[in-house]
Amino acid sequence: MTTPASDTITMFGAEWCGDCRRTKKQLDELGIEYTYVDLVADPAAADVAKEISGRMNIPVVVYPDSSHHVEPSNADVEAKLRELSLI
pLDDT digits (tens, 9 = 90+) for 22-48: 999 999 999 999 999 999 999 999 999
1, 28 contact by CB (below 8 A):
no
Question: Whole-angstrom Cα distance, residue 77 to residue 61?
Answer: 9
62, 37 contact by CB (below 8 A):
no
Residue 46: how many other CB atoms lie within 10 Å? 18
Q: How many CA atoms lie within 13 A of 85 on its CB side?
A: 0
The pTM (predicted TM-score) of the whole model is 0.92
